Amino acid sequence: MNTEHGGCSVTITGLGIRQGFAVLAVVVLVAWGMTARAAGLDEVTSSPPAAADAAEMEHINRLIGQLAGEDADVRQQAVHALVDTGDAATLSRLERALDDADRATRVAVKPIKTLLKNKLNLASGDEAVRRAAAGDLGTSGQPVARAWLETAAVKEPQYWVRYAMEEGAALLRLAEEDPAARIAAAEKLGELKSQNALPALKELAQQLSGNAGALESNGPVRLAVTKAIERIELWSTWAGVFETLFRGVSLGSILLIMSLGLAIVFGLMGVINMAHGELMMVGAYATFMTQELFKAYLPPSIFDAYFLASLPVAFLVAGACGLFIEATVIRFLYGRPLETMLATWGVSLVLIQLARVLFGDVTAVTAPAWLSGGVQVLAGVYFPYNRLFIIALSIVCVIGIYLALFRSSLGLRVRAVTQNRNMSACLGIPTRKVDAYTFAFGSGLAGLAGCALTLVGNVEPGLGQNYIVDSFMVVVTGGVGKLAGTIVAALGIGSLNKFLEPSFGAVYGKVFILGLVILFLQRRPSGLFAIKGRHAD
């Protein structure tokens, strides 16, 4: 048998068994030698990174020792050495080096770790992380961070993240000793209308004014700082007005949802329902129970959907309670407003005590994640998502009520009964059923208001007592049974309430509004939009 390899011929025919094993052994030895050589090369090749890592760890340990020393210049040099070359690998090595360090060393190194983390977070894919990192770096007092912020701001596509980066860089520049840098920083902060920079600017202005020996040289800086302070304070006043107006509209939206049902009931049946606030409380507790059911029986992944489910639940539960109250109490007291008011007040007390027995004094509803946070619309003006949702819900309710009253046969019957009950009954309209269904519908709207209120406050048995007086003021000020009047009065009273609270307090503010409403009704007893027709009196 002949075997050819590479042009050479080896004849093994006639070889003995010993010679064959000898050849096989030689082949195995050669193959093992080549494998060992390759493994040796790999070991030699991989050893430099390990050696480099060890050298880097030794360098970091030496810098950590310098940070824990008492020489300020040496500490500052160590800080610069760490942050100038700091990357994810350096941060990881720094954390490993601190595993066996004492408490004093950890305390000394902690600001450097935070600085490096924020430097890396400037390149994060999350806008919130980048913005938070920019804010932390701006208040860190480390001049080296200014270059990072300026470089990141040039590349940043999102406006408010870029705003935070520019603000942080200007704050760090304001702390420099160069007068030109301070003037440029003050002008930039004034241009940004940065309310976060106001304390630093006021402190710098006080320092410059107190330095009597350098008043002339510091004059341009002091002038730039003063102009920036005036510009920021003026904008802060307007920002406060915008936020107060927004909170007033949010409160007015809750009053609007609650007052719409009250206006329909009062305008249709002439019933002064003192339990309307407690129907609002029923809607709030229905929202709380929906939340607890989602926690107990459904997967956590869909927990945030509980609030959307609680909207129809609150409406239906409060509407069912209203239907029960109408059938058992109010139906027998039509035409007797004083007795109706006293009876519904008694019902409200029963509902309050029942809620206290079943749920205790205070419970809370956790806002879903998609309603957490908010949106910044202007410098210093921040609109929370939960209040935006309340405003949107009130708009949906107004549109739904308009369609129900003016674009449906049921709404036609309701308006007919409101204008002339006796004539409507003669034409075959079941006025008692219309009364019952309308009262249930108004009660359901109060339940929706309670559901919305859980986003901005706690749930307690006396929840409705805080809003029932305001709701009646909205109804009588807007005009009984008038949708447009209810909208205008709710937004007006809610906004006025929030504007008066800072000056007069919550209690005296409401008293002042009540006085204004009384004076208004002396001039216009029918409200903003008076009823027209035969029964205008």
Query: Of 210, 238, 266, at which residue does a domain stop?
Result: 238
User: Does residue 517 form part of some domain?
Assistant: yes
Residues 221 and 356 in one domain: no
Q: Give pLDDT, residue 207.
A: 85
Q: Say what the pLDDT of residue 105 is.
A: 67
Worst-scoring range by mean pLDDT, 77-91, 327-341, 415-429? Answer: 77-91
Report d(CA 80, CA 88) in Å as an integer.
Answer: 16
Please check whether residues 228 and 261 belong to one and the same domain.
no
Q: Does residue 286 share a domain with residue 151?
A: no
Domain boundary, last residue among 186, 208, 238: 238
Same domain, 129 and 91: yes
242-281 pLDDT per residue, tens: 999 999 999 999 999 988 888 888 877 778 889 999 999 9
* 426 and 515 belong to one structural domain: yes
CB 478 within 8 A of CB 263: yes
Q: Quick one: 224 and 125 in the same domain?
A: yes
Answer yes or no: do 293 and 226 share one domain: no
The three-class DSSP label of residue 377 is strand
| Whether 331 and 454 share a structural domain | yes
Burial of 13 (C-beta count, 10 Å sphere; 0-12/13-18/19+): exposed
**Domain match, 442 and 344 both:** yes
Res. 26: pLDDT tops 70 = no
Percent of the chain with pLDDT over 90: 37
pLDDT mean over 82-95: 63
Q: Is residue 29 part of a domain?
A: no
Domain coverage including residue 89: 55-238
The secondary element (H helix, E strand) that includes residue 9 is strand 8-11
Among candidate residues 187, 191, 201, 195, the one with its CA nearest the CA of residue 239: 195
The CA distance from 66 to 108, in Å, is 10
The average pLDDT across 226-255 equals: 92
Q: What is the pLDDT of residues 461-495, one digit of tens each?
A: 988 888 888 888 898 888 876 778 888 999 999 98
Q: Locate tokens 């039509």: which residue?
A: 334
Domain identity same for 476 and 374: yes
Alpha-carbon gap, residue 419 to 534, rounded angstroms: 8
Across residues 200-205, what is the average pLDDT? 90
Q: How many domains does the chain have?
A: 2
Question: Mean pLDDT across the stretch 331-338?
Answer: 83
Q: What is the mean pLDDT of residues 384-402?
A: 93
- Asked if residue 329 is part of any domain, the answer here is yes
pLDDT of residue 14: 43
End-of-domain residue from the set 175, 203, 238: 238
Dump pLDDT digits (tens) for 48-73. Answer: 555 555 665 666 666 666 665 666 66
pLDDT averaged over the chain? 81
Structure tokens at 510: 């409401």
Q: Judge if 65 and 167 occupy the same domain.
A: yes
Which CATH number characterizes residue 488's domain? 1.10.3470
The tokens describing 431, both together, are 């006025």
Specify if 535 maps to a domain: no
Q: Is residue 161 part of a domain?
A: yes
Structure tokens belonging to residue 450: 């309670």
Residues 340 and 414 in one domain: yes
